[in-house]
Structure 1
Amino acid sequence: MSFFNRLSIGTKLIFVASLVVAICVALMVFIVSQTASSILSTESDKLLTNTAKRYQNFVQNIMSETFGNTLSSSKILSGLIDDGQKIDEKMLSIYLSSMLDSGSYSVGSFIILSKDYTEQHQIVSKNKISSGELVLAFIDDKPAESGGIRGIRPNELLDASPRLLSKLQNNEVQTLSVLLSQQAKFGDRDLYYKTIFAPIFENGKVVGIVGNLLDFTSIERRLGNPELDVFEGAQRFIIDQNGIVIFNSDRENTIRTRLKKLDEINAHPSAKELIQAVMSKKDGIYTYQTLHGKTSKAAVATFEAWNNIGETWSIVSLAPFSSIEKPIDNLELVLILVGIVAIALISLIIFIFIRTTMVNRIQHISHTLFEFFKYLNHERKDAPQPLKIVAQDELGEMGNAINDNIQKTKLGLEQDSKAVVQAVETAKTIEAGDFRARI
C-alpha cells in the first residue's frame, strides 16, 4: 500500500481505471464463456441425439429391407406350395439368386426343405444332405452390384450355422427368426453377418425355411465413414441388449471389438453404466471413456431389430468433450485477446485524457502554488503569472481562486512595501529634527 501511496495522482487514476476495466472484461469473458458453454452443451446434446437417431433410421431401413425381403419370400414360397405348384431345385435356385441380387445388404441366401417334404415330393439332388433335407445356398461376391452370385455347398452353410438345421428338424421355426451375429469363412471369403430366416408352410405345416445373410461389413463401412463425424474424433458403435458390440466405427478397433462385450474390452466404469442404460432401454446422454482414454459425451438411441424377435440394438453416437468444448476454448482465447487489446486501448485513452485534462493542470496549479508560497515568503521578488483557465470545472474554480489570491496578495504586498518606504522616510525626517512628519 505504501508503494501505491507514493504514486502520482495521475498514475493512481490510470491504475484504478485500468483495474476496473480489467475486472469488467474478466467478468464479461467469464459470463460469455459460461453462457456459451451452457448453450453449446445443450446444442451438442441435441446434435448427438439427432445423429444417433439418424444412424438408427439408417440401420432400421437396412434391417427392414432384409427382414421384409425374407418375410416376402416366405409368403411367396408358401403360397406357391399351397397352390400345388411344383417346387424344384432349378426354380428355387433362380428364385434365391434373384432374391439375393435384389438385396442391397444381403450377402447370402438359402433355402432348406425338410426331409418329409423332399421324400414326399421325391426330390433328388446332390444338394440333399445325409439326413434327407435339401439345402440350397448362395453367396453374393458383389453385394453392391448386379451379378456376382455363386452357389456354395450345403455343408459350408451348415458348418457356419448348424442351428439352422436343428431348428427346422425340431420344428422351432414358426415365425421370422434370427441367429446370433457371427463371422464365418465361405471359401476364400470372410463374412460378418446375421442370419435371418422365416418358415415355409405347406397347408399350415412347416416344410422348410428361407433366409438371408445380412451383410454387416457393408453397414460397418457406412457407419465408419469419416464424413459422418459431427465433431473431431467422433465415434459410432452399436451394441445389442446384452452389451455385445455389433459395429464400431473406430477403425483401429473395428475388428478387435466385433462381437465382444463392451465391459470386457473396456474396463472403465462408464462402459458398465452404458450397458446398464442399454439393458434398461434408457435413451439419453451419458459420459463414456473410449478405448483411447478420451472422456466423451455419448447419445444412446435404442430400437428393436425387428418386431417380436427379442433383439434390441442401441446406437451410441459419441464425441470427446475436448472436441465439443473446442469452440469455447477458441472463443475464450479470442475474448481474452480482445480484452487485453481493449484494456490497453482504454488505458491509453484514459492516460491521454487524464494527462491532458487533469494531470497537466494539477501540475500547473501545484507549480503556481509553490511559486506563490515563495513569493509570500519573499523567496522571489515578483508574483507568479496567473493561471490560464481552460475549463470552468473544479480545477478551473480552484485556478480562479488562486489567481484572485495572487492578485490580492500582490496588491497587499505592494501597499505594504509603499508603507514601509514611507515609514522609513518619515523616520529619517524625524531624525533630522522635523517632528511635524506623519506616517
Structure 2
Amino acid sequence: MFSTMKLGTRITLFVIGIVLICMTTVALIIIDRSSKIQIDEAHKLAINASKRYANLVQGFFNEVFIGLKASKQTFEELLQSGYNDDQPIMEKSLVNLVDSSQWGNYAYLYIKDPSYTQHNIANPKHKLPNGEFLILVHDQNPNVDGGVEVLQADPSILNFGSVQKALTTKKPTVGIPTKQNIGNLGERMGVGMNFPIFDKAGNVQGVLGIFVDLDAIAPRLIDASLSVFEGDYRVLMNQSGVIGIHYNKEVLGKSIFNVNTDPTVKKIMEKIQNHEDGIFDFTNMRGEHGYAGVANFEVGQGLNEYWSVMIPIRTSAILASVDALRLMFYVGNLISYVILGIILSYYIRFRVVGRVRSISEQLFGFFKYLNHETQTPPPPLKPTAQDEIGAMAMAINENIEKTRKGLEQDSHVVKEVVYIVEEAKQGRFGGSVTQTSPNPQVEKLKTSLNEMSTTLRGLVGPDLGKAAAIFQAFEKNDFTQRLENPQGLEKGVNSLGDSICNMIRVSANFAKDLESKSKDLEEAVRTLTESSNTQASS
C-alpha cells in the first residue's frame, strides 16, 4: 500500500513518522525523568512536612509536660506540709496551671492520702463518690486568660490508664489517644499526661495531670490548606499505632491496624516502633497506592514515649503535574503533527513534488524526442532554486541541448550517408561523409563508409555508368570508345576494348590472307579444270 502512494504523500508520512518517533521518545524520556524527579521531590516534601509537624506537636506536648513538671514540686510541697487546709491553694495552683496551657483543657489533681478524704475535703466539688480527693478544673477558652471553671470531681479520671500507670510505676506517664466525656461536657479526643505526687517517705500519694485536647491541636494538622498534594493528610498516632488526629473522625482512638489492613501498614509500624524517620510505601484505606512520610518525636524527657506524624500521599496526586505535562505533551505533539503535516504537505507538494513532476515531464518529453516520437525536444526547464533539484534541472537542460545538437549532427551524417549510398546505387563511388558526430559509433560508421567508398572507387572507378556505356558500345561492335583517366575496373574495360581491337585486327589480317589464298586456290582449281577439260577434248 505504501509503495502505491504518491511521492509527496510518502515523504510527508515518512517525515511525520520520524518526527513522531523522535518527539514521542523525547516526551517519554522527559515524562519518565519528570516522574522520578517529582516523586523524589514529593519524598523530600513529605518527610520535611512530617518532621515540621512532628516538631510542632512535640512543642505542644512539651509545653504541657514542662508545665506539669514545674507544678509537680509545688503540689508535693503542699502535700508534704501536713496541713490539709491548703486545698484552696491547690485549687488555685491547678487553675493557674490549666489557664497557662493552651493545649490542656482539663487539669486534675488526685490525692489518696487519708488526710484528704471524706470530711477532710473542704470543697464538696473535690469529693469523689468513694470519698477520695480530686480537684478537676476546665478551661473553657484555652486561648485566652481566665475562663477556668472548677468541676465536680469525676471518677472517670481514675479510669484513665495513664493515671493508674503513674500510680503503679511511680513515673510520669502519657496515655493513649481516647475520647473522654469529662464532667459531662461532651466528648473530646485527647490524651492524659501525668506526674505522680510523692509524700516525704517517697510513697505515691496522688497524680497531677492534664488532659491534652487533641481536638484543639487537630486544626493545626488536618486543615486542607496545609496540603501540598491533592488529597494528602496528616495523621498523629502513638508508637502503638493508636490514632489521635485524623481527618476521618471515625478512626480516632482506633489502632491503625484495625482501620487499614494493607501489608504496608505493618512495615511502617515496624519503622515507627524502631523510631525510624523516612518515606515509605503506603496504601491508604481506599486502596490507593502512594507513599507516607513518617517523623517520630519523643514526648517529655526520658519517658521513652514516642509519637509519630505520618503524611500519606497518593502516587496519582504526586504525578498529577506529570500527568498534566504528559497531556500537554500529547496535545502539543498532536497539534505539532497536524501543523507540520500541513506545512510539510504544502512545501513538498509545491516545492519538491511540483518541481520533480516538472523534471519528470521534461524527461518523458525528452524520451519521446529520443525515440523519434516527436521532432522537437521539450523546452528547457527554469530552475526556481539553486538546490539539488535546481542543479538536476540545469543538468537535464544541458544534456537535452547536447543530445539535440548530437542528433542534429547525426542527422547530417545520415543524410550524407544516404546520399553516398544513393550514389553507389547509381554506380558512382568515391564520395565521403564530411559531417561529424559526437556519437563514437556514428563516427566509426562514417569512417568505415568513407573507407569503403574510397576502396570501391579504387576497385571499380568513380562511375560504373561510364563503364556500362562502353560495354553497350561493345555490344554494338563499337570497340573504339575508351574511359578517360581509368581507375580500377575501368582500366580493365579499356584493356578489354584494346584486346578486342587487337583481336579484330589479327582476324582481319587472317581474313585477308585467307582471301588471297582462296583466290589462289580458285585460280588453281580453275586452271586444273581447264586442263582437265582440255585433256578431255583432245
Task: State whether TM-score is above 0.5.
Answer: yes
Report whether the alignment pairs 1:194 with 2:194. no
Q: Give how far 1:159 is off.
A: 5.8
Once residues 77 and 430 of structure 2 are traced to their aligned partners in structure 1, the CA distance between those partners, rounded to angstroms, is 157
Once residues 316 and 72 of structure 2 are traced to their aligned partners in structure 1, the CA distance between those partners, rounded to angstroms, is 50
Q: Give how far 1:189 is off.
A: 2.0
In structure 2, relative to structure 1, the CA distance for the partners of 1:71 and 1:204 (3 Å cut) is: farther
In structure 2, relative to structure 1, the CA distance for the partners of 1:358 and 1:107 (3 Å cut) is: same
Name the structure 2 match of 1:114.
112
Summarize the alignment of residues 369-384 of structure 1 with structure 2, pairs less than 5 Å apart. 369-384=363-378
In structure 2, relative to structure 1, the CA distance for the partners of 1:356 and 1:129 (3 Å cut) is: closer
Name the structure 2 match of 1:180.
176
Name the structure 1 match of 2:52.
54
Once residues 108 and 359 of structure 2 are traced to their aligned partners in structure 1, the CA distance between those partners, rounded to angstroms, is 106
**Per the alignment, in what secondary structure is the counterpart of residue 318 of structure 1?**
strand
Once residues 338 and 85 of structure 1 are traced to their aligned partners in structure 2, the CA distance between those partners, rounded to angstroms, is 85
In structure 2, relative to structure 1, the CA distance for the partners of 1:163 and 1:194 (3 Å cut) is: closer
Q: Give how far 1:305 is off.
A: 2.0
Paired residues, what number?
A: 428
Contact 2:84/2:120 (<8 A) preserved: no
Q: Which letter maps to 2:352? A: M
Report whether the alignment pairs 1:301 with 2:295. yes
Once residues 213 and 361 of structure 2 are traced to their aligned partners in structure 1, the CA distance between those partners, rounded to angstroms, is 94
In structure 2, relative to structure 1, the CA distance for the partners of 1:270 and 1:220 (3 Å cut) is: same
More divergent stretch after superposition (5-14 vs 17-26) = 5-14
In structure 2, relative to structure 1, the CA distance for the partners of 1:75 and 1:435 (3 Å cut) is: same
More divergent stretch after superposition (43-52 vs 78-87) = 78-87
Name the structure 1 match of 2:264.
270
Contact 1:137/1:157 (<8 A) preserved: no
Q: Give how far 1:310 is off.
A: 3.7
Q: Which letter maps to 2:289? A: T
Contact 1:387/1:403 (<8 A) preserved: yes
Summarize the alignment of residues 61-140 of structure 1 with structure 2, pairs less than 5 Å apart. 61-79=59-77, 88-118=86-116, 124-126=122-124, 127-129=126-128, 133-140=132-139
Contact 1:160/1:184 (<8 A) preserved: no
Q: Give how far 1:237 is off.
A: 1.0
**Per the alignment, in what secondary structure is the counterpart of residue 234 of structure 2?**
strand
Report whether the alignment pairs 1:153 with 2:152. yes
Q: Give how far 1:124 is off.
A: 4.4
Q: Which letter maps to 1:149? A: V
Summarize the alignment of residues 141-290 of structure 1 with structure 2, pairs less than 5 Å apart. 141-158=140-157, 160-161=159-160, 164=163, 172=168, 174-185=170-181, 186-203=183-200, 205=202, 206-249=204-247, 253-254=248-249, 256-290=250-284
In structure 2, relative to structure 1, the CA distance for the partners of 1:129 and 1:338 (3 Å cut) is: closer
In structure 2, relative to structure 1, the CA distance for the partners of 1:107 and 1:347 (3 Å cut) is: same
Contact 2:78/2:86 (<8 A) preserved: no
**Per the alignment, in what secondary structure is the counterpart of residue 179 of structure 2?**
strand
The C-alpha deviation readout for 1:289-320, integer Å capped at 9, x for no partner, is 22233222111111222223342211111111
The C-alpha deviation readout for 1:171-229, integer Å capped at 9, x for no partner, is 63634223333322222422322222223344463443322111121112332211111
In structure 2, relative to structure 1, the CA distance for the partners of 1:103 and 1:377 (3 Å cut) is: same
Scaled by the length of structure 1, the TM-score of the pair is 0.85
Contact 2:78/2:90 (<8 A) preserved: no
More divergent stretch after superposition (50-59 vs 233-242) = 233-242
Contact 2:16/2:340 (<8 A) preserved: yes
Name the structure 1 match of 2:517.
none
Once residues 183 and 19 of structure 1 are traced to their aligned partners in structure 2, the CA distance between those partners, rounded to angstroms, is 65
Q: Give how far 1:258 is off.
A: 1.7
In structure 2, relative to structure 1, the CA distance for the partners of 1:53 and 1:66 (3 Å cut) is: same
Contact 2:264/2:282 (<8 A) preserved: yes
More divergent stretch after superposition (65-74 vs 213-222) = 213-222
Q: Which letter maps to 1:276? A: E
Once residues 420 and 14 of structure 2 are traced to their aligned partners in structure 1, the CA distance between those partners, rounded to angstroms, is 63
More divergent stretch after superposition (68-77 vs 359-368) = 359-368
In structure 2, relative to structure 1, the CA distance for the partners of 1:380 and 1:73 (3 Å cut) is: same
Once residues 240 and 403 of structure 1 are traced to their aligned partners in structure 2, the CA distance between those partners, rounded to angstroms, is 92
Contact 2:69/2:195 (<8 A) preserved: yes
**Per the alignment, in what secondary structure is the counterpart of residue 69 of structure 1?**
helix
Once residues 430 and 315 of structure 1 are traced to their aligned partners in structure 2, the CA distance between those partners, rounded to angstroms, is 120
| Percent of pairs with identical residues | 28
Once residues 317 and 192 of structure 1 are traced to their aligned partners in structure 2, the CA distance between those partners, rounded to angstroms, is 20
Contact 1:238/1:315 (<8 A) preserved: yes
| Residue segments in structure 2 that go unaligned for 5+ positions in a row | 433-538
**Per the alignment, in what secondary structure is the counterpart of residue 218 of structure 2?**
helix
Question: Which entry has the higher C-alpha Rg, 1 or 2?
Answer: 2
Scaled by the length of structure 2, the TM-score of the pair is 0.71
**Per the alignment, in what secondary structure is the counterpart of residue 154 of structure 1?**
coil
Contact 1:139/1:152 (<8 A) preserved: yes
Once residues 43 and 429 of structure 2 are traced to their aligned partners in structure 1, the CA distance between those partners, rounded to angstroms, is 113
Contact 2:162/2:174 (<8 A) preserved: no
Q: Give how far 1:71 is off.
A: 0.7
Contact 1:114/1:132 (<8 A) preserved: no
Q: Give how far 1:144 is off.
A: 2.9
Once residues 219 and 402 of structure 2 are traced to their aligned partners in structure 1, the CA distance between those partners, rounded to angstroms, is 99
In structure 2, relative to structure 1, the CA distance for the partners of 1:89 and 1:397 (3 Å cut) is: closer
Name the structure 1 match of 2:527.
none
Contact 1:262/1:275 (<8 A) preserved: no
More divergent stretch after superposition (6-15 vs 67-76) = 6-15
**Per the alignment, in what secondary structure is the counterpart of residue 189 of structure 1?**
coil
Q: Which letter maps to 2:149? A: R
Once residues 89 and 82 of structure 1 are traced to their aligned partners in structure 2, the CA distance between those partners, rounded to angstroms, is 13
Q: Give how far 1:36 is off.
A: 0.8
| Residue segments in structure 1 that go unaligned for 5+ positions in a row | none
Once residues 80 and 72 of structure 1 are traced to their aligned partners in structure 2, the CA distance between those partners, rounded to angstroms, is 14
Q: Give how far 1:352 is off.
A: 4.3
Contact 1:109/1:213 (<8 A) preserved: yes
Compare the two structures and name the one with the higher helix fraction.
2
